[in-house]
Amino acid sequence: MQQERKTDRYVTFIGIEGDENSRRLIALLRRHIDDPRKSNRFWELFKGKLDLIGKPDHNGGRCLDELFLIHSYINNIRELFEEYDDQPALALLEQIEIESC
């Protein structure tokens, strides 16, 4: 019996809109963290990291992107979306986690 082979997401990202999905998720996140009533010290510092995306000359030569930050802070992001019951954002976060993280 031959098993059906699935594409290994760590070998190929063909057909996955990882960059676009990451940018969309950050936009959904910003709707919350840019609201002073929903932000806190952690999210204010996180916004500083967002400001460094694509600017390696401002970050010791290290180039950050949206997917890296999502992957690094996935639990914090999930908690925030759960706190505000943001189901579309949670669905996109889940998709990104499955496809790209």
Residue 31 lies in a domain: yes
Check: CB of residue 30 under 8 Å from CB of residue 44. no
pLDDT of residue 93: 98
Gap between the Cα atoms of 24 and 44, Å rounded:
19
Residue 6 lies in a domain: no
pLDDT of residue 101: 74
Q: Label residue 89 exposed, middle or buried (CB < 10 Å: 0-12, 13-18, 19+).
A: buried
The whole-model pTM stands at: 0.83
Going from the C-alpha of 60 to that of each of 49, 51, 53, 71, 85, the distances in angstroms are 13, 14, 12, 20, 37
pLDDT of residue 15: 74
pLDDT of residue 100: 85
Residue 13 lies in a domain: no
Residue 5 lies in a domain: no
Residue 75 lies in a domain: yes
Domain enclosing residue 43, as ranges: 18-100
Q: What is the mean pLDDT of each run of 10 residues along the chain (101 residues)?
A: 52 77 97 97 97 92 93 98 98 94 74
Question: Amino acid identity, residue 37?
Answer: R
